[in-house]
Amino acid sequence: MLTRRGFLAASSAALAKGAPRRPNVLLIIADDMNDYGILHAYPGVKTPYLDRFRKTAITFEKTYCASPACVPSRAALFSGLYPHTTGSYLNGSDPWDKAPLNATESMPEVFRRSGFTTFGRGKLFHAPVPEARHQAMWDNPVWLGGFGPFPPEKDQAGHRFWGCTPWEGPDSDFPDVKNAEASIEFLGRKHERPFFLTFGLWRPHTPFTAPQRFFEMYQPGAIRLPPPGFRSGDLEDVPPRGRELVKVWGERFVNAGEGNPEGWRKFLHGYLACTTFADWSIGRVIEALDASPYAGDTLVIVISDNGYHCGEKDHWEKCTLWEKAALTPMAIRLPGRAGAGKSCPRPVGLIDLFPTLVDWSALDKPKHELEGISLRPLLERPAAPWERPALTTYGERHASVRDERYRYIRYPDGAEELYDHRQDPHEFENLASRRELAPVKRRLGRYIPEHWAPSLGGRLG
C-alpha cells in the first residue's frame, strides 16, 4: 500500500518540471446500478467483469449519492456542490446554465485547465449544457446517445420506459456499446498528456432492453422473490411524507409486487439482465485499458449515480431517502493497484470524488470551494478512522444522514426515521421514537443543512 509520504512524493514529483506525467483517470458511471452489482446484495446476480475489477481495486461499501436521481446526483458529482447549495434538487432542474453552477468550474473543466486531455462519452450530466461550456469541458465532440432502444410497442406495458424485452437487433443499437467502443478507441491512441476519460452508461436504467444473451443468462424460475430487502407491510412505520415519495414513483410499476409475482419476476429479470449488460460494457473498457500502455498509470473509478429499488419497501426505481436508493457502488483502482481487493467500510459520498481527484491528480485549485472532502486517507488506509457521515437529500428539506451504523431521515414536517444497520441492514424497523436513541438523532441531525437554496425547479417524480 502507498504511504501518505508515497502519495505526496508522487504528487510533488508530478508537479516538478520534467517529472513523469501525472496518472490518467478513467471514470465510469453506470446509471441506476444499485448494490446488486459490485456489492452482491442480490443472490445470483452475474457481474463477472466487476468482480474481477474489484480484486484490483478498493471497494467502498458505503458510498452514497448526494441525491437519488440522475440530474441532481450528477450536478453534485461534477460540481462538488450539494443540492442544498445549488438548488438542483430534482430531475428537470437543469442547473448548468443557471446560477450558481453557471459560474463554477466542473470536474472536466478543472482537469482540462490542469493540462489533461479530456474525453467524455455517453450519459454524463443528463441536463442541458451550453455548447460553449461543453467545449470548455471536453476535447472531443461529445456524443451522448440516449436510453433506447425502446421495446416494441406491444411490449411497452403502457409506457416506453416500462417494457422489459430481450433485444434481438445488433449490439450496435445500444449507445452503451457505441460509447464503450469510442472509449476503447481513445485508449488505443497515443496520448502525450495525461487524460481524463469519462464513460457514462445508460444502463441498467430503464427501459429494460439488453442484447438477448444477457436475458438468457438468467432462468426466470431461478429469480428469487421477494428480493432480500423486502418485507410485507414495511411502510407501516414510515411517516406520511416518506410514503408520498413512494407514491410518486412507485405507482409507475403497479404491475409488479406482492399482488403480481410474475410481473415482479419479469421486472427483476430485466434489471438483472441490464445490470449484467452494463457489467460487460464496463468490463470491455477496463480490459482495453489493461491491454494498453496506460494500464499501470491510470486511476480507475467505477460508480453509479444512484441506487435502485426493485420492490423493496413496496417501491420501484429511486428518489427515496432509504439505503436502497442512496447507496451506490464505488470501487477505485489506484495506479500500481495499491490496496487491491480491500474494502472500505466508512460512509462516504460521491460528492467526495471531485476533491479526491483534485488531491490525487494534483489538479489546479477549482474556482469555487468544493463541499466534499478528499478520500485520500481512506485510499491510503481503508480502515482509517472517519468521522463524517454521508448526506443524501431529495427535494428541499428532505434529508438523510448515514454514518457507519445508523441512517437518520428527517422530512420537511419534522417527521423522522432512524435505522440501526447493525441489527437491521434492510431498514425494516423505524426506531425514531426510541427515547434511548435521541442522542444518535441529535448527533446525526447536526449534519442536516440549515440553509436550503431556492429550488431550480423540476419534478419530484
Kindly list the catalytic residues. 70, 126
Q: How many residues does the chain have?
A: 461
* Angle of CA points 268, 42, 253, to nearest 5°: 30
Taking the complex as a whole, how short is the minimal distance between the CB of residue 65 and Ca ion, in angstroms? 9
Single-letter amino acid code for the residue at 236: E
Q: List the one residue from 57, 58, 65, 70 that touches Ca ion (CB under 5 A).
A: 70
Work out the angle between the directed axes of helices 353-360 and 70-79 (0-180°, nearest 10). 30
Cell of 53: 475489477
Here the cell at position 205 is 436504467
- Interface with Ca ion includes 416 (CB under 5 A)? no
In whole angstroms, how close is the CB of 251 to Ca ion at the nearest point?
19
Sorted by sequence, the CB contacts under 8 Å of residue 394 that are 6+ apart come out as 67, 68, 69, 72, 89, 90, 245, 319, 320, 321, 400
Cell readout for 442 is 441529535
Exactly one of 105, 305, 314, 317 binds Ca ion (CB under 5 A); which one? 305
Backbone angles phi, psi at 58, to 5 degrees: -100, 120
**312 binding Ca ion? (CB under 5 A):** no
Residues 427-446 that bind Ca ion (CB under 5 A): 428
What is the phi-psi region of residue 241: left when phi exceeds 0, alpha when psi lies from -120 to 50, beta otherwise?
alpha
Q: Is the Cβ–Cβ distance between 120 and 179 less than 8 Å?
A: no
Quote the least distance from Cβ 304 to Ca ion, whole Å. Answer: 7
> How far does CA 67 lie from the centroid of its chain?
10
Question: Which residue among 2, 26, 27, 31 contacts Ca ion (CB under 5 A)?
Answer: 31
Task: Name the residue with cell 455517453.
Answer: 122
Residue nearest Ca ion, Cβ-based: 70
The verdict on 323 binding Ca ion (CB under 5 A) reads no
- Distance, in Å, from the CA atom of 307 to the CA atom of 169, rounded to the nearest integer, reads 29
Choice from 32, 35, 176, 323 touching Ca ion (CB under 5 A): 32
The CB-of-430 to Ca ion minimum distance in angstroms stands at 6
100-108, 142-150, 422-430, 431-439 -> range binding Ca ion (CB under 5 A): 422-430
Candidate ranges 31-39, 132-140, 254-262, 402-410; the one touching Ca ion (CB under 5 A): 31-39
Q: Give the range of 38-46, 302-310, 381-389, 411-419 binding Ca ion by CB under 5 A.
A: 302-310
234, 312, 314, 403: residue in contact with Ca ion (rule CB under 5 A): 234
The answer to whether residue 417 forms part of the interface with Ca ion (CB under 5 A) is no
Piece of the chain touching Ca ion by CB under 5 A; list 132-140, 213-221, 228-236, 285-293: 228-236
Measured from the CB atom, the residue of 126 and 333 that comes closer to Ca ion is 126
- Considering all CA atoms of the chain, what is the largest pairwise distance in Å, rounded to the nearest integer? 67
Q: For Ca ion, how many residues bind (rule: CB under 5 A)?
A: 8
359 is a site residue for Ca ion (CB under 5 A): no
Q: Closest distance between Ca ion and the C-beta of residue 360, in Å?
A: 25
Find out whether 226 and 264 touch, Cβ atoms under 8 Å. yes
Binding site for Ca ion (CB under 5 A): 31-32, 70, 234, 237, 305-306, 428
